[in-house]
């Protein structure tokens, strides 16, 4: 298989919130490139982490996500990424707007 795309939360009654993960094999790197696009709500983030660990990184000793995208900071797109940031490693560590959005949501939910 050269590529794989998985959608988390599509058939749930959660205002169409979803998380998407995908990977493709890069011959130059000799490995799969793993991408996460949006994290959905918190429950989607937890499901996404389980899915990534079970399927994408099942045989990896150092599971690492290459790229993370967040379309915008609404709860149904960014909340699940908070979980990803706390439990997964990233190939290129970045302290970007994405992380700030996720942390803002996390603080708002836990301290408001």
Backbone angles phi, psi at 26, to 5 degrees: -110, 110
| pLDDT per residue of the chain (112 residues) written in tens, 0 to 9 | 588 999 887 765 545 547 899 999 988 888 898 999 888 888 888 999 999 999 999 988 878 888 888 887 777 888 888 888 777 777 754 545 666 666 666 666 666 5
User: What pTM did the predictor assign?
Assistant: 0.76
* Six-digit token string for 83: 């979980």
Q: How far apart are CA 47 and CA 40, in angstroms?
A: 10
């Amino acid at each position: 298989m050269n590529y794989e795309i998985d959608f988390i939360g599509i058939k749930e009654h959660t205002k169409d919130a979803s998380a998407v993960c995908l990977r493709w094999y890069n011959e130059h790197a000799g490995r799969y490139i793993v991408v996460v696009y949006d994290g959905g709500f918190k429950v989607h983030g937890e499901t996404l982490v389980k899915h990534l660990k079970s399927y994408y990184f099942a045989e990896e000793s150092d599971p690492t996500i290459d790229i993370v995208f967040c379309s915008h900071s609404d709860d149904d797109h960014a909340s699940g990424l908070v979980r990803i940031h706390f439990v997964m490693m990233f190939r290129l560590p970045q302290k970007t707007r994405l992380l700030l959005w996720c942390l803002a949501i996390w603080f708002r939910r836990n301290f408001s």
